[in-house]
Every structure is written in structure tokens, then in C-alpha cells.
Chains A and B, each alone.
Chain A
Amino acid sequence: MFRTLKPFEYLEPKTLEEATKALSKRGAQAKVYAAGVDLVPRMRKRVIEPKCIVNIQNVKELDDVIAAKGKGVRIGSLASKRSIELSSLIKEKYFVLHEAISSIVSVQVKSQGTAVGNLCVATPASDVATALYVLDAKLNVFGPSGERQIPIDEFYLGVGKTVLEPAEIITEILLPAPAANTGGAFAKLVRTAEDIAKVNAAASITLDKGVCKDVRISLGSVAPTVVRAKKAEAILRGKKVDQKLIEQAAKAAAEEVAPITDLRSTAAYRKETSGVLVKRVLTKALERAQA
């Protein structure tokens, strides 16, 4: 219940090398600062008490650019959620990500906070993460042992836990080229519009002559990490998708979640509405794939 922050060592590295060296030396005692939107309140509330803050806003190899890369798109790790929302490239090619970010209501949080920062908080309710799961996103990471690439569905270990080593920094999000005739959709349930999701869901359907060539379904806030509803996907893959099949898949998806009761919602409600949301995003995704 404090109003000030405890003292800490403050570093402003100019290169990735400098940044990872500094983080390496201090391990878990150091935290990366990209925008502060999550970090500063947590420090104020003494949820975390880092001894060192490493501000990466001026690291020359990091940027906020959203641009084509190969056949796909890359999003710089300093890109704000708002810039991603306003990007016509993202809206056109990866609508599910646009829709997910649009569902975050605070323009301030979106203008200030980065998408990568949001991923690093590792809350299973992250709207960004749920959307990236159905886009098969990958994260480029730089660390003391060099670069590596982590698929988004291998990034999370549990609530607040990722596979990132303390000295590793995400440099960009990579989105693969969207296949033709692909449609995506996102939905979430909240207590008030400005709220962390009770349940969120995303789907992406790729059609080939009316048949479901590929499908991705993800659910957030219903397990320690985002869930890929693979059994539900299997029901649709290779079939001609109609409303009946969607309802079947939705029902299966609801069985793949393990929600808890907390101050936002109950396990029973989350389980049932997982199915409802999956039905809705699949229906919308199908419509958009057909368009």
C-alpha cells in the first residue's frame, strides 16, 4: 500500500550485448523496462522488488517497426500495442491480432505498453498471446548464447513463467505468411469492458474449396497457460465446416480446459462459456475465410 518505489540500480544499455551482459550479471535481481505499464505498478505494490532496472528503450538493435519480413510480417519488440492495432498491414493480414488488441479498452495502456512486454508478463489471460497462438507466431530472442527462435506455444511454462532465461531479450515477433482463404476471430468475456479476460478465445480457419484445410483454436484464462484446443481442431480439420460441426468442436474445446474459480469468475462458468466463445469465433472465422 505504498506510493513510492524502493531504490534500485538503473541501467540504460545502448546495445543488445550490453543489455544481456548486464542482465546476465544480475540474474533474477534485474528486470527489463520497456514501457513500465506493468512493471512500475507491481514495484509500487511491492509484488516484485528488483534491485536493478534495465531500460531497453534505447537499445539500438530494438525497434517498434511493423513490416513485411520474407513472406510474413515482423513486429519489433518495442512496438506498442496501439501501433499494432493501427497497423493496416496487421488488420489486413492478421485480423485476429487486430481484433484481440482492439478488445483491450485502455488507449493509454495500448499506447504505452508493448505487445512483447505483455507476453513477458505471462498471464494466461493475455489477449495478445491467445491471438498469437492461432497465428503460429514465433519469438526471436537474443541472449548470452546468441539468438534463438521460440514458437509461441512453447514459450509459456505456467502462470508468470516463461522459458526465457533472465538475460534473454525478445527482439521481435514473427508472423508467418497467412495462407489464402484464411479467416480469424477473437472474443472475450469480462466483468466490465476495461478488465482482464475471464475467458478469451481465438480461432483461425483456412479453407480449400470449402473444406477446412487447417484450423487453430486457442483459449486463454482457462488454464495456467493458453490452451490450444487440439481435439477440437481435429474435429474440423479436413472436413466441410458447417454450424453443426462447429458446435461439436466447441463442445470438445470446452473439455480441454481446466479453469479455476477466482475473483473474476467461476470454473463452471468458464468451462461452459469456453464452448460458447469457441463456437462464436469459429463461426466468425469461417465467415471471414469465405469472404
Chain B
Amino acid sequence: MKKELINLTINGAPYELEVEPNLILNTLLRDRLGLTGTKISCGEGECGACTILVDGKPMLSCSMLAVAANGKNITTIEGLAKDGELHIIQKKFIEKGAIQCGYCSPGMILAVKALLDENPNPTSADVKKAIGGNLCRCTGYVKIVDAALAAAKA
């Protein structure tokens, strides 16, 4: 299988990589680039744990080929904190107790980021819609919604 050369930006840094066409984007991020913040769970686009931002839009890294990320601008959870300062969404998730096992948290935080980038003043119904594709087994979503609203107000 011939490798393909791709050029993309991840968390603001440029990457030039040779990848096999059958490499799933999630595997590229986690296993090749050590960006293990993006999780893998269902592998069929249903749970949202693998959520990343592609050109600012939330997408599922388990359901994308790495080759198709050519030319794209990707943000993973590792790209949120700036110069050691956590993003306000991360701070509020911690403060409000919205993180238990943490496995859904990176995807959840990025889904909330995508929401707040589009709608800086959401209602709790808006937040629930924004995280509708992110499953959590631990929190019952209550403190996640609290955290998102608190981040919006901050």
C-alpha cells in the first residue's frame, strides 16, 4: 500500500507526515503523534469520545481517514491550554466537578468549545444539544451543563 504525504496543522503546529491510506485519524493522533488526549471508545461515531475540531468544527476522529485530514487545521484537547494556562472551559469543568473518570472529558470539552465559539450565550437546552452526541456514563451530564454555562458567563 503506497503511503500518502499529508500536510496539516495540529494545535497550531505544522506537520508533514507520510501515512498509509488505511490509517484512521484517531490512531495517527494517539499512536503516531503521542496525542493521547483524544480518546477511542465506540469507533463508530456514536459516543463522541474521539471528538476533535477540524477547521473549528467538531468531528469524529474515529470516523475519518488520516489522509483526508490533508490541508486541515485540527485542534485536539492538548491544543486548548495556552502557555500553561487552562482554557476557561477546562477550568470550569474542574471547578464544577464535571469530570469523573475523565474519558469523555476531552471530547465533551471540545464539543462545548465548538458551541461557545458559535454561540457565546447559550441556554442549558443549547448546551444539551451541543453535547447530544457525547456519551457519559459517570456524571449524568448535570455538572457538565453547569460547567459549560459557567464558562459562557465567565
* Any A–B CB pair closer than 8 Å: yes
Against B, the Cβ 8 Å flags (1 = close, 0 = not) of A240-269 are 000000000000000000000000000000
Given contacts A40-B24, A44-B24, A53-B65, contact A106 B132 (CB under 8 A): yes
Check: A37 CB closer than 8 A to any chain B CB: yes
Residues of A within 8 A of B23 (CB): 5
A53-B21 in contact (CB<8A): yes
* Extra A-B contacts (10), CB below 8 Å, given A106-B133, A112-B60: A7-B22, A8-B1, A9-B1, A55-B67, A57-B68, A106-B132, A109-B45, A111-B57, A112-B59, A112-B63
Whether a CB of chain A sits under 8 angstroms from the CB of B28 is no
Q: Is the CB of B24 within 8 A of A4?
A: yes
Residues of chain B whose beta carbon lies under 8 Å from any beta carbon of chain A: 1-2, 4, 20-24, 27, 40, 43-46, 48, 51, 54, 57-60, 62-65, 67-68, 111, 114-115, 129-130, 132-133, 135
Interface size on A, residues (CB 8 A): 32
Closest to B56 in A: A111
Query: Looking across the interface, which residue of chain B has its beta carbon closest to that of A6?
Result: B22
Q: Are B45 and A106 in contact (CB under 8 A)?
A: yes
B57 / chain A contacts, CB cutoff of 8 Å: 80, 82, 111-112
A108 contacts B24, CB within 8 Å? Answer: no
Q: List 24 A-B contacts (CB under 8 A).
A: A4-B22, A7-B20, A9-B21, A10-B1, A12-B67, A35-B63, A36-B63, A36-B64, A38-B63, A40-B24, A40-B63, A44-B44, A45-B44, A55-B67, A55-B68, A105-B129, A105-B133, A106-B46, A106-B132, A108-B59, A111-B57, A111-B59, A111-B114, A193-B132
A28 at the interface (CB under 8 A from B): no
Contact for B27 among A4, A33, A41, A45, CB less than 8 A = A4
Within 8 A of B (CB), among A42-71: 44-45, 53, 55, 57
- By a CB distance below 8 angstroms, the chain B residues around A3 are 27, 40, 43
Which residues in B have their C-beta under 8 angstroms from that of A10?
Answer: 1-2, 4, 21, 67
Would you call A8 and B43 a contact (CB within 8 A)? no
CA–CA, A6 to B21, complex, Å? 10
Please state if A106 and B48 are interface contacts (CB–CB under 8 Å). yes
Query: Within the assembled complex, what's the spacing in Å between the Cα atoms of A40 and B64?
Result: 7
**Option from B4, B54, B65 in Cβ contact (under 8 Å) with A40:** B65
